[in-house]
Amino acid sequence: MKATVYVPRDSGALSLGAEAVATAVQAEARKRGQELQLIRNGSRGMYWLEPLLEVVTATGRVAYGPVSPSDVPGLFEAGFLQGASHPLHLGLTEAIPYFRKQERLASARVGVTDPTSLEDYCAYGGFRGLHNALSLSGEQIIQEVIESGLRGRGGAAFPTGIKWKTAFDTPSEQKYVVCNADEGDSGTFSDRMIMEGDPFILIEGMIIAGMAINATQGYIYLRSEYPHAFRVLNLAIEKAYEAGYLGKDVLGSTRTFHLEVRRGAGAYICGEETALLESLEGKRGMIRYRPPLPAVVGLFGKPTIINNVITLASVPIIFDKGAAFYKNYGVGRSRGTLPFQLAGNIKRGGLVEKAFGLTLRELLYDFGGGSFTGKPIRAVQIGGPLGAYLPESQFDVKLDYEALSGIQAMLGHGGVVAFDDTVDMAKMARFAMKFCAIESCGKCTPCRIGSTRGMEVIDKIIQNRNRNANLHLLRDLCDIMLNGSLCGLGGLIPNAVLSAMKHFPGDFGIRDVEKLSLA
């Protein structure tokens, strides 16, 4: 009997040797005269189990992992093609608690399907949202997105429907849809997993966005650090053109939508939407003044929707299952789900898509299983390099936009990076300033110069040179950067520094937190 085996081609799985496992599985099958269909899926997002091999059985897909090439003959010997027992046997993939406890919407197909198969995509509910949206007017599409409560998943959490409406209301012959796939925050990889593991969902979301505002051209601005995603996206776009989802007459609707992937070139600042537009226009990635908003004056001066990958990947679900279905997830003004990403010093790192409102502690311990090293988790940075560092006393915070801003933190793109008790927070604060110095576009002086001066001041604090005066100087410098920068790089990086000073004063030699008014 022909067996079906899945081995991921997700770059995270590849980084742990999935390609060698796939080769070994095929070689061993040939050796045994076993007929085999090997499907290269995305990752299920349970990276501590990667490379995770799955086999289709009568009761469902059974998982084995982490598999190394040398395990493969033994797996065949044990009868893994029938789902038999083996030291690496994990049972049904979807019964693994980490996976079972999730609420996967945007990432529902990631790891399940063959990412480059249009047939697979459609068999698992793909393009149903687009078909529903085809019968709606631009206003109706936008109204549905507003009602869903969807907010931008890139970090700023701006209501998506309102952004679309602004672009809709601005008259222009030419409009654009741009996907911000410049996922540069440390600790984040959900965009990458979607693009590598289910690229058609992003394409579908962008087509719907194009129909909403009558845009005929879309661009995916992809960071150059993701070569695998670049290949998968281009392959998927090619297939979507062939099948009539993209091009001059989308599914016979007389609407036009073209889509192209453009690569960035290693500049973190190009994740900021106006710098991204400059870069797409072929210029240095210098940020622009706002207003005018990109929805009014965007790419090449035309009204432009810029949304993050996860935002656009959430759109097809809203049109497949309805705004009410989507809105039903979440708490308060944070509606829907977010694919959280567990990273850093954590035992079970990976993708956890859940409705807003679970606590950081649940994420770190129930899902993450505590630190990788087994030492206490001392600090957690949420929201990338611009996000605040939180101490253990704040681990019960609910993960939603409002609860985090209530403690001067931010959810950002949903990345959660854990550090054990060996971390030196003064060094992390210094790194924040260094990163800002390296990645500043240079437009605003507080960011361009202040970051370098900040690094020097933190060095002096670490060396205990005139420490008290320098702590006050650093406090003032952070204020100037916060208030004197146009965008979130210079304007938010002080959050990382100030939160480290406030919650971990001992690492800076701070005796009296009150005097620095860090609250």
The residue ranges that bind other proteins (CB under 8 A) are 11-12, 14-16, 47-48, 50, 183-189, 191-192, 224-228, 262-268, 279-285, 300, 341-346, 349-351, 372, 381, 385, 415, 417-420, 423, 428, 431, 435, 438-439
Residue 99 CA from chain centroid, whole number:
18
Our CA dihedral for 180, 184, 188, 190, rounded to 10 degrees, sits at 30
* DSSP structure string for 294-321: TTTS-GGGS-EEEEEHHHHHHHHHHHHH
The nearer residue to other proteins, 25 or 276, going by C-beta atoms, is 276
SS3 335: strand
The nearer residue to other proteins, 151 or 413, going by C-beta atoms, is 413
The one-letter amino acid code at 52 reads: L
Q: How far is the CB of 216 from other proteins (least distance, A)?
A: 13
Q: How far is the CB of 450 from other proteins (least distance, A)?
A: 19
The nearer residue to other proteins, 22 or 323, going by C-beta atoms, is 22
Instruction: Report the DSSP pairing between strands 217-222 and 258-263.
Output: parallel
Reported in sequence order, the residue ranges of 363-409 that DSSP labels E, i.e. its strands, are 377-382, 389-391
In this structure, what DSSP letter does residue 43 have?
A: -
The nearer residue to other proteins, 28 or 183, going by C-beta atoms, is 183
The 3 state secondary structure assigned to 432-447 is: HHHHHHHHCCCCCHHH
Q: How far is the CB of 148 from other proteins (least distance, A)?
A: 27
User: 180 Cβ partners below 8 Å, 6+ apart?
Assistant: 154, 221, 271, 273, 276, 306, 307, 308, 309
The nearer residue to other proteins, 143 or 445, going by C-beta atoms, is 445
Distance CA(79)–CA(39), nearest Å, equals 19
The nearer residue to other proteins, 79 or 376, going by C-beta atoms, is 376
* DSSP structure string for 58-124: TTEEEEE-S--GGGHHHHHHHTGGGT---TTEEEEGGGSHHHHT---STTTTTTTS-TT-HHHHHHT
Q: How far is the CB of 187 from other proteins (least distance, A)?
A: 5
Q: How far is the CB of 352 from other proteins (least distance, A)?
A: 10
Within 10 angstroms of residue 407's Cβ, the number of other Cβ atoms is: 12
Instruction: Report the DSSP pairing between strands 3-6 and 53-57.
Output: antiparallel
Q: How far is the CB of 478 from other proteins (least distance, A)?
A: 18
The nearer residue to other proteins, 318 or 418, going by C-beta atoms, is 418
SS3 358: coil
- Is there a cis peptide before residue 66, judged by omega within 30 degrees of 0? yes
Q: How far is the CB of 263 from other proteins (least distance, A)?
A: 6
Q: How far is the CB of 201 from other proteins (least distance, A)?
A: 18
Residue 421 CA from chain centroid, whole number:
27
The nearer residue to other proteins, 300 or 332, going by C-beta atoms, is 300
Q: How far is the CB of 153 from other proteins (least distance, A)?
A: 15
The nearer residue to other proteins, 10 or 320, going by C-beta atoms, is 10
